[in-house]
Homo-oligomer: A and B are copies of this chain.
Amino acid sequence: MQNKALDGYISYALATAHRSVDTSIKARLKKHGVQLEAWRIMECLDTENHLTMGALAKAVLINPPTLSKLVDRMVSDGLVHRLIAESDHRQINLMLTDLGRHRMLQIRKDVEDQDEVLIGKLDGREQSVLIDLLFKLSN
């Protein structure tokens, strides 16, 4: 099915699965006109208030400068707004707007649907094993 040269590298197996999964999720999100990472940001903000840019960047797996620019776009789309932190004036606390929360819920459905499709390729045992193994590789 594909070139033999790279099979055998864990990093390649991981990249292959990631690419496949990422592509299908992004295809679904396209109609929402929002990046996958933007949705992740909104989910994080929804469950944990007063997240800083730094904490968010780690959580959603992007670098700080990339986050800054993505947040600029989200602000101009009215999804979030910036608030200077009380305790430390260098920090920014992002706040989800009502529109943001609304959009987040719409998008969540699609991501969950897609995750269902993925999960359907594995049985229950395999799912938890996979999550566990991926976690071991993460840092």
Contacts and interface: CB of A to CB of B under 8 A. Distances in A.
Interface of A: 2-6, 9-22, 25, 40, 43-44, 46-48, 51, 55, 58-61, 111-112, 114-115, 118-119, 121-122, 126-127, 129-131, 133-139
A133 B137 CA distance: 14
12 contacts: A2-B58, A5-B43, A6-B59, A10-B118, A11-B115, A13-B134, A13-B135, A17-B134, A18-B18, A121-B136, A122-B137, A126-B136
Main secondary structure on A side of the interface with B = helix
Contacts of A16: 61, 134-135, 138
- Give the interface centre of A12, A46, A126, A136 by most chain B CB atoms within 10 Å: A12
Contacts of A4: 47-48
A99 B113 CA distance: 48
A91 B47 CA distance: 51
Contacts of A114: 11
